[in-house]
Structure 1
């Protein structure tokens, strides 16, 4: 498998993804609330709330993330 190729030195570059890392950081910067998978996204957005699965994240949390990230 792929691991053999790595050990044999047959791979020059390895690219992976880390989906959702920014959402994990956003959850650490400000309160995230437990909601429900059945909540309607459109109604939440109109109230300034984003849904990540069953988690509710206020828009302001994304602004805090941007403020934290931009100086880096």
Structure 2
């Protein structure tokens, strides 16, 4: 039997967050921790649990968060 997902579990699970890159259609973003995120077709997607990437992308005016 399938285990139903509760609203609380959905709220806590990380979701993909996508940003539009207005400067480049392709590039590699390197975080201070050394992790990399690829911009492809002018978009980059990171986990909503990745605080470092979210802070970086939110602080750079070249990136605009797309609605989910």
Whether TM exceeds 0.5 here: the answer is no
Greater share of residues in strand: 2
Q: Work out which of the two has the higher radius of gyration on C-alpha atoms and give 1 or 2.
A: 1
Higher RCO, 1 vs 2 (CA within 8 Å, ≥6 residues apart): 2
Greater share of residues in helix: 1
TM-score with structure 1 setting the length: 0.28
